[in-house]
Structure 1
């Protein structure tokens, strides 16, 4: 076992994949976990280590007929739009995908992404249009701040903006959310405002049920790794038997921590070792 993990995390992983009939869901955030954070979101890619670890674990799960490996599933849970997540992560066939903090779901097949359609009501579409217009106005004249459009949300990005422009645009975004009766989710250099109530925690709880049904198990144990404030909602819903991993520094509800993406790769490699026949 890699020294990167430490005894406590290593023991937790052994319990996670115990061959007792339970299903196992290995769920991972993308940015900051499998891929280092970068200024340009379109340039985000897994590191060589996480790419190899994800593909190795997925191949093991696909090839398993019996034991815990046959009851294990892989998922990517991200704030990214579902199609963008699939494009950047290149998920292995069989993986579940959750985008837009739970508003979008689908899974990867050998032929590409099989997405569940997302439809807004006319009222929600009107609110989204008003929200997007307000955020567009918030970044006018503020260098480095920009607005990303999603099917059910608009996102203010400030990673490349200066302190004053960041503060002003974030304040304007918060005001727009309050005016429209919406919640503003603050993450690392982003403010995401959605017209649908979602969270990564709710998405994980749904996935837990889906996986148990998929593999005909009575219970699903979950590992979740995340790095941002939005991942705390996922950590909050997980409990005994689950494994929560914070990637990087900062206060957290997670019970374990690794430093970076290399640490995440070590976790995935160890899970694969434990699942291997």
Structure 2
């Protein structure tokens, strides 16, 4: 992966302003909302909300959120209403929401039974580690470690890794910012963006994210698309911004430029 950007935010705006139909697909945590200790307290920064509202108002521009969060949790933290035009891809692309409701089927009864059994086993395994907990997911579960003492984190993840290697070796394992996720569905955010591209008929895509799990999508973008990485670290993205406010400012400029060229 590249460690430096090769396209400035202003150049990216100019590149996308004239495309016939633009899809702006965005990760949520760390991209629109700061990373916080209590996951369900996450909310977009005001400037992020302003940027999404500006993009939604531009003709031939679709906006989507692409998250590892379960679809229901994503709708809560994004304050996403039933009349929202924003499309959603939850669980790294295994769940979809489009105007009018969800699209696709959820876990089967047997999948839910295995998921719940393994969640319970993981909870029992980590019960003696202070502040450790298991986060439910539609297609598995996650092990957050942000509020766990640094000295305990390796042991926490080693215990659950051993359980999953023994009981569910085919499940996909993902690492993110102070979290490890396990899922029996293997979709990544690349699949989510591909589905959204087809759904919207987009001629170009802007995808932005901050975490390792976003690299699936960033690495699969097509010529003419733009990938944006928020923060530091190695990335496939050609554009890098310092933080959430800088991304929001870029998106507002993009909205204004697309609107201006359509006047």
Q: What TM-score do you get using the length of structure 1 for normalisation?
A: 0.85
Distance 2:219 2:78 in 1: 25
- Runs of 4+ aligned structure 1 residues displaced above 3 Å come to none
For the Cα contact (< 8 Å) 2:140–2:183, is it kept in 1?
yes
* 1:237 alignment partner, SS class: coil
State which of 232, 240, 246 in structure 2 corresponds to 1:263: 246
Distance 1:220 1:137 in 2: 49
For the Cα contact (< 8 Å) 2:64–2:88, is it kept in 1?
yes
Distance 2:139 2:9 in 1: 37
For the Cα contact (< 8 Å) 2:7–2:239, is it kept in 1?
no
Q: What TM-score do you get using the length of structure 2 for normalisation?
A: 0.89
Distance 1:137 1:164 in 2: 20
Instruction: Map residues 152-171 of structure 1 onto 2, 5 A cutoff.
Output: 152-171=139-158
* 2:134 alignment partner, SS class: strand
For the Cα contact (< 8 Å) 1:144–1:159, is it kept in 2?
no
Q: Report the equivalent of 2:45.
A: 47
Q: Report the equivalent of 2:193.
A: 204
Q: Report the equivalent of 1:34.
A: 32
After TM superposition, give the deviation of residue 261 of structure 1 in Å: 0.8
Q: Which runs of 5+ in 2 are unaligned?
A: none
CA RMSD of aligned residues (A): 1.9
After TM superposition, give the deviation of residue 159 of structure 1 in Å: 0.5
For the Cα contact (< 8 Å) 1:24–1:72, is it kept in 2?
yes
Deviations 1:41-75 (A, max 9, x none): 121111111111111221x23xxxxxxxx321000
Distance 1:18 1:184 in 2: 39
Distance 1:140 1:203 in 2: 34
Q: Report the equivalent of 1:221.
A: 204
Instruction: Map residues 67-86 of structure 1 onto 2, 5 A cutoff.
Output: 70-86=59-75
State which of 96, 100, 107 in structure 2 corresponds to 1:105: 96
Deviations 1:95-146 (A, max 9, x none): 100111111110356xxxx222533234422331232123212321111211
Q: 1:119 to 1:46 in 2, by over 3 A?
A: closer
After TM superposition, give the deviation of residue 6 of structure 1 in Å: 11
For the Cα contact (< 8 Å) 2:205–2:225, is it kept in 1?
yes
Q: Which has the higher contact order (CA 8 A, sep 6+)?
A: 2
Q: Report the equivalent of 2:179.
A: 190
Q: Does 1:231 align with 2:233?
A: no
Q: Report the equivalent of 1:65.
A: none
For the Cα contact (< 8 Å) 2:172–2:185, is it kept in 1?
no
